[in-house]
Amino acid sequence: MKGVSDKGAQKDKETKGNKKNFKKPLQVLHINKKDSISQTKEIIDADQGFEKETNLEDKVIKQESDKSSPDLLNENWEKNNNAQNLNLQDLEKPLNFQQEEQEFQVERKVDEFDFDESAFLEALNENEPIGATGEIIEGKIIAVESDGLYIDIGGKAPGFMPKKESALGVITNFKEKFPIGLDMQVLVIKEQNADGMVTVSARALILRKSWEKVSGLAKNGELIKVLINGFNRGGLTCDIDGLRAFVPRSQLEDGQDYQSLVGKNLKLAFLEVNPDSRKLVLSEKKALLISKFADLKLGQLIEGKVLAVKPYGFFVDLGGASGLLHQSSLTNGSIRSLKEIFIEGEIIKALITEIDLERGRIGLNTALLENSPGELIVDKKKVMMEASERALRTRTLFDKKDPET
């Protein structure tokens, strides 16, 4: 029993101790609750006091308003509202910086970062790429390497000219032929790369000038004397100012033993000149024909034999050269057939109205010999007999066209 009671006593003690420990947080909670209640009461009392003061002021205002007239009360109320509204408007109104700038204008000074439009355009021009393809540029050699030259062309980077583009043919003494400081004219063959460098060529410029030269010679019908330096199955080959030219066998005066002409000089005319396809064809026969043209003039009366009758006119032999009498230049009258006028092998007289040295063609005319339209059809014999006298009458028509007069 004693042991039981002792155990129970221990349990009671532990229970009491636990109860005390359990009530402590409750007591703390109770204290906090009291504090919050007291704070709440203080807030309520403050509010009630404010309400009392407000009610007291309202009562005073009401008493005064009872004493004063309703108009005066409204006027005071409107003044108070207007004052509050003005204060709110001033707070909400944004600041007007433009007005301040107008009132306080500060003089702006030009510094080193400012520039005008002309300076801007000048800066753009300085940075503009130099050297478009096909452009001719003046430059000066600034460096010579084993694979080419560097030329100052006025850009942000020098131009490079490969060794094979420096001249025509093979160059043995490269550095001696192109010393540093040498001024030269080059042609741009490739536009600038990412480093701003362009590729130029002296060889391409020489060839361009050669094509321009031969094109002018061909247009004027001029002859050229060349040295034959080779042959192939189709004809002969030669060089003209760096251009490779070809003379077909059919365009030679004697094409049978044409290989024997290698190493000899021939007087040739230009048959075809095409820089785009790099085609340059010469002719010995055309050169002989043009030589005969040298004695011919516009408005000159010639006599020849009808070689052939074509649907569009007559071909007339002029002593080694042939002229074309086109149907539009035959008569001013209307004809049914060309054979009504002339036949093959007939000797006729006509005026020279065109000399095309480039194409090797001579244009003839008989309509200008007529006194009236269709006279050649009606009385051909009379027209041919009086041709010399009638040709003098038409001479003034060709004086302005003839370059020698």
pLDDT value, residue 173: 84
- Residue ranges of the chain with per-residue pLDDT less than 50: 1-34, 36-37, 40, 44, 50-51, 53, 56-57, 60-61, 64-68, 73, 88, 97, 100-101, 104, 110, 405
Amino acid at 209: K
Structure tokens, 112? 């080193």
Identify the CA nearest to 139 among candidates 81, 205, 40, 95. 205
pLDDT of residue 129: 54
Residues in the chain: 405
Could you give phi then psi for residue 316, rounded to 5 degrees? -120, 130
Which pLDDT does position 3 carry in this prediction? 45
Q: What are phi and psi of 365, to 5 degrees?
A: -150, 135
Tokens of 232: 């192939």
Task: Answer whether 404's CB lies under 8 Å from 293's CB.
Answer: no
Quick one: how far is CA 140 from the chain centroid?
A: 28
Residue 269 near residue 360 (C-beta atoms within 8 A): yes
Give the CA count within 13 Å in the CB-facing half-sphere of 248: 11
* DSSP tag of 359: T
Using a 10 angstrom Cβ sphere, with 0-12 exposed, 13-18 middle and 19 or more buried, the burial of residue 220 is exposed
Strands 322-326, 301-310: pairing is: unpaired
pLDDT for res 190: 87
Instruction: Provide the pLDDT for residue 324.
Output: 92
CA distance 342 to 75: 128
The candidate with the shortest Cα–Cα distance to 405, out of 8, 138, 397, is 397
Strands 279-283 and 322-326: unpaired
Instruction: Give the pLDDT confidence score for residue 21 in this predicted structure.
Output: 46
Domains of the chain listed by start with CATH number: 117-220 (2.40.50.140), 221-289 (2.40.50.140), 295-399 (2.40.50.140)
Query: CB under 8 Å to 326, separation ≥6 — which residues?
Result: 312, 313, 363, 364
Model pTM score: 0.54
Give the burial class of 351: count Cβ atoms within 10 A of its Cβ; 0-12 exposed, 13-18 middle, 19 or more buried.
buried
> Residue 329 and residue 232: Cα distance in Å, rounded?
43
Distance CA 390, CA 371 (A): 9
Residue with tokens 């540029």, as numbered in its chain: 137
Maximal C-alpha separation, the chain:
183
pLDDT at 9: 45
To which residue do tokens 């516009």 refer?
298
For residue 201, give the H/E element and its range: strand 199-201
In angstroms, the Cα distances linking 345 to 338, 353, 365, 378 are 14, 22, 18, 21
